Structure 1
Amino acid sequence: MLHTAVLDTQLTDFVATVGVFVFYLAVWGLVFAGTGLFVGVFIPFITGDSLLFASGLVTAANPQLDIWILAVGVGLAAFIGDQVGFVLGRHLGRPYLDKKSGPRMQRIIARTERFYNSYGWWAVVVARFIPWARVFVPWIAGIGKMNYYKFLTSNLVGALAWGVGLSLTGYFAASIPGVKAAAYIIAAFFITASLVFGFRTWLLDRRERTARKAS
Structure 2
Amino acid sequence: MNILVFLDSFNPENIIQYGGLTLLLIIIFAETGVFFGFFLPGDSLLFIAGLLSDTEYLDTNIALLITLLIIAAVSGSMVGYLTGRWAGVYLANKKDSLFFKKKYLDLTQAFYQKHGMMAFILGRFLPVVRTFVTILAGMVKIDFPKFLIFNFLGASIWILTMVLSGHFLGQAFPQITTYLEIIVVGMILVSAIPVVITWLKNRNLLAKD
Structure 1, unmatched stretches of 5+, are: 15-21, 181-187
What percentage of aligned pairs have identical amino acids? 29
Whether the 8 Å contact between 1:49 and 1:166 is mirrored in structure 2 is yes
Q: 1:36 to 1:206 in 2, by over 3 A?
A: closer
1:131 correspondence with 2:127 = yes
1:49 to 40, 43, 52: 43
- 1:105-148 per-position Cα deviation (integer Å, ceiling 9, x unaligned): 01121111111121110111111111110111101111111111
3-state DSSP of counterpart to 1:64: coil
Q: 1:12 to 1:132 in 2, by over 3 A?
A: closer
Q: Which residue of 2 aligns with 1:19?
A: none
Query: How many pairs were matched up?
Result: 188
User: Residues 142-153 of structure 1: matches in 2 within 5 Å?
Assistant: 142-153=138-149
Q: Which residue of 2 aligns with 1:184?
A: none
Q: Which residue of 1 aligns with 2:32?
A: 35
TM-score scaled by structure 1?
0.75
Q: Which has the higher helix share?
A: 1
1:91 correspondence with 2:86 = yes
Tell me by how many angstroms 1:176 deviates. Answer: 3.2
One-letter amino acid matched to 1:202: W
1:113 correspondence with 2:109 = yes
CA distance in 1, matches of 2:198, 2:164: 29
Q: CA RMSD in A?
A: 2.9
Structure 2, unmatched stretches of 5+, are: 1-7, 177-185
- 1:166-204 per-position Cα deviation (integer Å, ceiling 9, x unaligned): 1122111101349x9xxxxxxx99x857634x2442243
Q: 1:107 to 1:11 in 2, by over 3 A?
A: closer
Q: 1:193 to 1:33 in 2, by over 3 A?
A: closer
